[in-house]
Amino acid sequence: MGLAWDIFGDGKTALRLGGERYLGRPRIGSMLGLGRNPPWTQTVDQGWGGSSSSLNDSPTFRSLDTINPGLKSALASTTSFDTVNEDFRPPESWQWNLTISREVMKNIVLEASYIGNHALHIERPLDWNDVVPRARFAVAQAVRANDPNANDLINASRRLPGVATVFMHESTGDSSYHALQIWANRRFSERLAFQAAYTWSIVQEMGRRRESHSRRLAAQCDRLFPGRHSA
């Protein structure tokens, strides 16, 4: 949606503003990862019904209806899962701009704009099965001391002990962009013009990167990237 207004009615000063909302779709790869979870894997190895035998050929794991109760105890500390948060939402972006233009002299136009963008529900993969907060100090000490039992301590201190990483895909990321743009144009003829522009912008984002659950809170501190461009 956009709006333009000739402020003084003389055709020399214009105020323009606009805004829109864009909707996206989640990455299909996040959903396909669910098919790699046990017992939906395509092959099984020793201890799962035979060496490199398929699930269809395995008498122990021939279907989900008759799956062996021993599956739960067969999980190892190296078994990982892909998951999607039940509150997952598709990404969206809001964009807006406000511009004022003025013909200050014949064939010379100055323009100043404010540009903004806010993205919501950005996908963020994280380790849901991270070490619980109360055990993180002890784990950190063991890792720094090169304790040979550090991995055992990590596995025992997870939310679900005995299970490795649980990759949780959430839509909790967001980002924002704000910019001031100044533009000048001098037209000498129908085929010759000179223009100069300056942009000051700042980005704040907490977006897509695989991280542990413990680092999620630290990521709440916005990472600022001011940028200036001139031409």
pLDDT, tens only, 93-149: 999 999 999 999 999 999 999 999 999 999 888 888 888 989 989 999 998 999 999
Euclidean distance between CA atoms 104 and 151, whole angstroms: 70
pLDDT band at 160 (very low <50, low <70, confident <90, very high): confident
pLDDT of residue 127: 86
Q: What is the pLDDT of residue 44?
A: 47
Token code pair at residue 149: 């039992």
Query: Tens of pLDDT along 164-222?
Result: 788 888 998 899 999 999 999 999 998 899 999 999 999 988 765 555 444 444 444 44
Which segments of the chain does DSSP mark as H helices, in order?
28-32, 71-74, 136-144, 150-156, 213-218
What is the residue extent of each domain of the chain? Answer: 2-26+86-129+164-230
Confidence (pLDDT) at 64: 45
* pLDDT score for 94: 96
Quickly state the pLDDT bin for 26 (edges 50, 70, 90): confident
| End-to-end C-alpha distance for the chain, whole angstroms | 29
Q: Which two tokens stand for residue 189?
A: 């003829």
E strand map for 128-214: 166-189, 192-206, 211-212
CB neighbour list of residue 94: distance below 8 Å, 6 or more residues apart: 19, 20, 21, 22, 117, 118, 119, 120
Q: What is the pLDDT of residues 10-23, one digit of tens each?
A: 999 999 999 999 99
Tokens linked to 8 = 């003084």
Chain centre to alpha carbon of residue 18: 26
Q: What is the DSSP letter of 158?
A: B
Give the model confidence (pLDDT) of 64-99 as tens digits. 444 455 554 555 566 778 888 888 999 999 999 999
- Look at residue 120 in the predicted model and tell me its pLDDT: 93
Instruction: Specify the length of the chain in residues.
Output: 231
For residue 53, the model assigns a pLDDT of: 53
